[in-house]
Amino acid sequence: MAFAVTINGQRWHDHVDDVVAAVQRAAGAPIVPVVKGNGYGLGQRLLAEECLRIGADTVAVGSVFEVDDVADFGTYDIVVLEPFEPRDAFAAGAWWRLGQHLHAGRVIRTVASREALLTLAEGPGSVRVLLEAQTSMHRFGFDEAELLRLLADPDVRRAFAMGRVLVEGLTLHMPIAQPADDVEPRGAALGSARVREVVRWAGLWQSETEVWSGHNSPSSRLWVSHLDDADLVTVAASAPDIVVLGNWKRCLLDAAEGRVDVVLAYSTAQREQSMVFSTVPVLREEVALFINRQHPVKFERLEDLAHYRGGLLFGESYGVDFDRLVAQHQNIEWVSDSGQNFGKLIRARIDFITSERRTGQLYVENLPGAQDIVALPNALSVDYLRVAISRKSPLAKRMPQIDAQLKRMVDAGEVEQWLNESEVTYRDMVNLPANAK
């Protein structure tokens, strides 16, 4: 028997908006829509368009066979929930075909075994992955001991350091029914059994990623499912600095590979190999040291920093001398976003952060607990941000015209005006209520 279902589009949109707003209020984190199969009859295209409407920057699909259908409708990242299995010959063909598409760089694979991770490390280029924890669902994934062994494995650490495998975080697929409570971590005694399990994993993952000493540290981001609003509030309070927003090193890699056309960056010899830089600078930036004034740092010359531990974002470079100091003393902890860095500085886990003075001061204005975070008056360096275009982009050959237009705009004061307006817009944005549209 056939039948037709009519959906009230406006009520559906309103419901989706309410769910998204509730998750963002509860967790302070973005929601990742899941588009599986044919979307329960709605169709992948309709759901993909809905993901764009709500501003999702990441979506999830069930298997590698669903990636191409969803990728055609948006520019978001795509998580494949089914773990990558190198022994699956049928899926291997789909993964190979996916690698021939431009959107392959937007795909994040789920990895649930050491063998799968090292297989990916042996392939061409860099691969983005999520490590799956074995929760009380008792499906696939690493248990706690296996995860610790994996992160200590020399072959795995070498794959991370070389950038062959880029870990976007730890993923937890929780059961709908409440699991049995085997351990009650401190600080989450009032939460549900699901919360206690998530917080235990969060504590383990955060402690491992925060002390990572090599390059390309795994992101401390936690990806979770099947938590209600109350669960999310408790988890967010117990693990406040789990979620990250972006990765500058990955942005540079995307530009080098041609997946991104234009970035604004400092010119270095290494970056000039993959990007063409404008001769006209867009912005003069003073690089400052941010410290916690409860733990003073003496800084008169660059060599003084050798006695302290600092924090940098992946891909950051502040000149040949500074980079040489970092390489020599290995006193830098590399993270994925500024929130992690400033969070460590607030809690005195590091001694300093290098950041552009203007953007750093804007960031700490509304950062909870940052009342003691200040920028030292002495500048670490002064450099100029420039338009950088991927050498693989068709825009690269138009750099002379771009330079000429930039010069006209700089001379007319338009760039300075945009900068001032962007600061006003940023302050307005961070002061918006969580449910503002």
Domains of the chain: 30-238 (3.20.20.10), 248-430 (3.40.190.10)
Among all chains, which residue has been given the structure tokens 């500074």?
Answer: 322
Token pair of 200 as six digits: 């235990």
Closest alpha carbon to 310 in 270, 340, 341? 341
Q: E strands along 369-411, which residues?
A: 373-390
Residues 70 and 231: their CA atoms lie apart, in Å, by 30
Token pair of 373 as six digits: 């975070």
Whole-prediction pTM:
0.55
269 exposed, middle or buried (CB, 10 Å; 0-12, 13-18, 19+)? exposed
Whether the CB-CB separation of 318 and 400 falls below 8 Å is answered with: no
Residues 170 and 83: their CA atoms lie apart, in Å, by 13
Residues 311 and 344: their CA atoms lie apart, in Å, by 8
Question: Hey, is 263 helix, strand or coil?
Answer: strand
Closest alpha carbon to 150 in 122, 118, 128, 119? 118
* pLDDT tens over the chain, length 437 residues: 556 667 788 888 888 888 888 887 887 777 898 887 776 677 777 888 888 888 888 899 989 998 988 888 877 889 999 999 999 988 888 998 888 887 888 899 999 999 999 999 888 778 899 999 998 888 889 988 888 888 888 888 888 888 888 899 999 988 876 654 444 444 444 567 888 888 888 878 877 777 676 567 788 888 988 888 888 888 777 664 433 333 465 567 667 777 778 888 888 888 898 999 999 998 888 889 999 999 999 998 889 998 898 888 766 777 778 878 877 777 887 665 677 778 888 888 889 998 888 888 888 887 778 899 999 998 888 888 899 999 999 999 999 999 999 999 999 998 888 888 877 776 766 564 544 44
